[in-house]
Structure 1
Amino acid sequence: MAVTEVSQVVRSEWTKVRSVASTVWTLSLAFVVTVGVGMLIAVVSKNTFDDMDRKDQLSFDPTLISFAGMSLGQLAMIVFGVLVVSNEYSTGMIRTSLAAVPQRATFYLSKLAVAAGLTLAVGIVTSFVTFFVGQAMLGSLRTDIGEPGVLRAVIGGGLYMTLIALFSIGVATMLRSPMLSLGILMPFFFLVSNILGNVSATKKVGQYLPDQAGSKIMQVVTPVDNDTPYGPWGGFTIMAVWVVAALLGGYLLLKRRDA
């Protein structure tokens, strides 16, 4: 397929995303929730810092505190990722799309390119805003963007949001149903992953789940008695592997089955 034809497919995918109000609202919600909850947790952390035990004070991570809202903001990114794919399946427009672009690899990659570009832009803006707002709320406990590891963590926050959306796109492409996709992804990230990652019996398994591993990229201060066998970039790599696997699974099923 010629470059001009690929660019036309990309523009078509951009039009689809832009014209659906729900996808725009979910990205806006991701921003508002992440920044808002991060700000509130920063205020609470500042007011309760003196009451923390010595271990918690030594493990206090001002940067990570700013991203406390990410666990809720990522849910909006999950919804966005699912909607990018499932809107076409639920309306039957997928048949028209694949008839217009029979090269399914081009169709799939164009959709991913648009979604990745949009979520990366929103994620980076959200990450920087939530960091600076959170630090303003922390007062004397704040850190600076120039401190070692902080800029990496802030940029990593935007990358994390992007990968969450792409993972959701892969899963939604495999399942095709918005209700089934959200019915699996929402409980998995909001409940199952947190339970597995915080229960001692399953912690060693939970720490290799995509969100548990990927969130390490936003960590600057290593907690006291930390036994995680990987660092920020190691965790990010683990998450990236999950995302690649989900996207590859989505493509293989898209290629092999009927619309």
Structure 2
Amino acid sequence: MASAQVVRSEWTKIRSVASTVWTLSLAFVVTVALGVLISVLARNEFDRLSIEERLAFDPTLVSFAGTGLGQLAMIVFGVLVVSNEYSTGMIRTSLAAVPQRGAFLAGKVAVATALALVVGMVTSFTTFFLGQAALGDLSTSLSAPGVLRAVIGGGLYMTLIAVFSMGVATMLRSPMLSLGILMPFFFLISAVLGNVSATKKVGQFLPDQAGGKIMEVVPPVHDDTPYGPWGGLIIMVAWVVAALVGGYVLLRRRDA
């Protein structure tokens, strides 16, 4: 099957499954709503901050406070894009139609990545503008140094989370197993490793912590991270590539 037909087929499959559409919509709503709420609270609490905390106040990052929860929906989206076919048995039909497994996976990843990128960018810019409006006098603008990079980076971060989840789901095939590993990994293991002094140097190289640096404009107080925003994003990309390569290798070796 030609590459254009593979892409068209994957687009049809993704848009015809209601759960994938709902997860992307939820990613937008949760990220924007929580970002605005945290921005309002941050504005109200600003006068109570210490001088050091005020100097390190990052209005851009504050508006992205909902990204941590919004990425949950992007993880679910990435998993469902792959594992839906395994859970329904449609994977046999898909691989029969596209026997070149590399082309099959590439088409699926390309369509899902493009969709996640559009949603991620719209979410990121909407979150930023509404968050800055909620911050009032504490707000910043896209023309300020580093802000446009952070806003674009927010969209890239959400996209990469979805693609990483696709790679993991391709390796594991089961939606329950994939979510059972990814959810604790991002919401428990990464947080613990990143906040415990003994493991902090390891935790800061995990995909979410490294990738999240791209959304920072003002460095945190006493920040000793050995890489900058773009360096962190490169680390996250490396994780994503590793997950996709692992998924491709196992897809070729296993039966449907």
With the shorter chain as reference, the TM-score category is over 0.9
Q: What stretches of structure 1 of length at least 5 have no aligned partner?
A: none
Aligned to 1:21: 18
Give the TM-score normalised by structure 1: 0.98
Moved more, 192-201 or 179-188: 192-201
Deviation digits for residues 210-241 of structure 1 (CA, Å, limit 9, x no counterpart):
00000000000012211001000000000000
Q: Distance in 2 between matches of 1:6 and 1:230?
A: 38
Matching residue's letter, 2:91: I
Aligned to 1:57: 54
Contact kept? 1:160, 1:214, Cα under 8 Å: yes
Matching residue's letter, 1:238: I
Deviation digits for residues 80-102 of structure 1 (CA, Å, limit 9, x no counterpart):
00000000000000000000000
Matching residue's letter, 2:152: I
Mapping of 1:102-141 within 5 angstroms? 102-141=99-138
Mapping of 1:73-84 within 5 angstroms? 73-84=70-81
Q: 2:86 aligns with which of 86, 89, 108?
A: 89
Aligned to 1:218: 215
RMSD: 0.7
Mapping of 1:184-199 within 5 angstroms? 184-199=181-196
Q: Distance in 2 between matches of 1:115 and 1:53?
A: 44
**What secondary structure does 2:140 align onto?**
coil
Matching residue's letter, 2:16: S
Matching residue's letter, 2:99: P
Structure 1 consecutive aligned stretches of length 4 or more whose deviation exceeds 6 Å: none
Q: Distance in 2 between matches of 1:111 and 1:36?
A: 30
Give the share of equivalent positions with the same residue, in percent: 76
Residue 177 in structure 1 maps to residue 203 in structure 2: no
- Give 1:192 shift: 1.2
Contact kept? 1:86, 1:176, Cα under 8 Å: yes
Give the TM-score normalised by structure 2: 0.99
- Give 1:67 shift: 0.5
Matching residue's letter, 2:166: I
Aligned to 2:246: 249
Aligned to 2:64: 67
Matching residue's letter, 2:124: S
Q: Distance in 1 between matches of 2:84 and 2:48?
A: 49
**What secondary structure does 1:221 align onto?**
coil
Aligned residue pairs, count: 256
Aligned to 1:161: 158
Q: Distance in 1 between matches of 2:90 and 2:122?
A: 32
**What secondary structure does 2:143 align onto?**
coil
**What secondary structure does 1:68 align onto?**
coil
**What secondary structure does 1:229 align onto?**
coil
Contact kept? 1:34, 1:69, Cα under 8 Å: yes
Q: Distance in 2 between matches of 1:112 and 1:126?
A: 20
Aligned to 1:143: 140
- Give 1:191 shift: 1.3
Moved more, 108-117 or 216-225: 216-225
Moved more, 47-56 or 121-130: 47-56
Deviation digits for residues 10-68 of structure 1 (CA, Å, limit 9, x no counterpart):
00000000000000000000000000000010001000011111221111100000100
Contact kept? 1:58, 1:223, Cα under 8 Å: no
Aligned to 1:238: 235
Q: What stretches of structure 2 of length at least 5 have no aligned partner?
A: none
